[in-house]
Amino acid sequence: MIARADRAQQRLCTQYRRLVGKSKHHNTIVVAIARMLIGYVWETLREAQPS
């Protein structure tokens, strides 16, 4: 789980910096990062559930 969190952190940071570099509006960046983050959370919870 820690490895997954580390990969997610790296990817979110890269995405954030890329969007800032494109001069996107702050709210647009926040929503994009939040959307990616909820995807990671959903995937982690889905894998944790017994099938």
Domain boundaries, the chain: 2-48
Residue 5's identity, in one-letter code, is A
Q: Phi/psi of residue 49, each to 5°?
A: -75, 140
pLDDT digits (tens, 9 = 90+) for 32-50: 999 999 999 998 889 887 7
Whether 28 contacts 10, CB under 8 Å: no
23, two tokens: 């001069």
* pTM, to two decimals: 0.80
Q: How far is Cα 44 from Cα 26, in angstroms, rounded to an integer?
A: 27
Does the pLDDT at position 51 exceed 70? no
**Vertex 44: Cα angle to 19 and 50 (nearest 5):** 160
